[in-house]
Amino acid sequence: MSEEYSEREIRKTLRKVAKQRVVMKLGDGGVWIVENTVKKEDKRAQAILSTCYMRGWIEIGRRTVPIEAVEGEGEDRHLPHDLSNLPQTYRLTTAGWSAIEHTHAWVLATCFVASAALLATIVSIAARWW
């Protein structure tokens, strides 16, 4: 499984996870029905989602079902009888949102500017004393 994929593909998949939304709740336990789920069909998508999971950017959704798996139409929709064979749905973590928004780079840039300002202030104060 030495398939190559880029960071761009990983972030593109992360954005797809961010576009998921809950359509309705079904059943006694309030199972979420999710649309725009990321399909984990091929090995490439599995590897990308596993990479995101390993980095802590996504986690497996609990009590969620993709909308394609719901049986019936309109008000007669109900959960499938066998919930064990359904594909997993994922949700973003706060680290995933930060990865999408590139906030890590902004935090580093802010710390650098703050450190430079502090250093300039200390040099200015020290110059007055000498």
What is the domain partition of the chain in residue ranges?
A: 7-101
Q: Report residue 59 as tokens.
A: 């986690």
Residue type, 10: I
Tell me the C-alpha distance between 23 and 34, whole Å. Answer: 6
**Residue 10: pLDDT above 50?**
yes
Residue 81 pLDDT > 80? no
Residue 1 has pLDDT above 50, yes or no: no
| Contact predicate 92/55, CB 8 Å | no
5, 85, 119 from 126: Cα distances, Å? 52, 69, 10
Residue 122 is predicted with a pLDDT of: 95
Cα separation, 86 vs 27, whole angstroms:
16
Q: Which fold has domain 7-101?
A: Arc Repressor Mutant, subunit A (1.10.10)
Selection from 44, 37, 126, 45 nearest residue 90 by Cα: 37
Question: Would you state the pLDDT for residue 62?
Answer: 73
What is the Cα Rg of the chain in Å? 23
Chain segment 100-125, per-residue pLDDT in tens: 887 778 888 999 999 999 999 999 99
Model confidence at 3, pLDDT cuts 50, 70, 90, reads low
* Model pLDDT, residue 26: 75
Q: What is the pLDDT of residues 27-66, one digit of tens each?
A: 766 777 888 888 777 788 888 989 999 999 999 887 677 7
Asked if residue 2 has pLDDT above 60, the reply is no
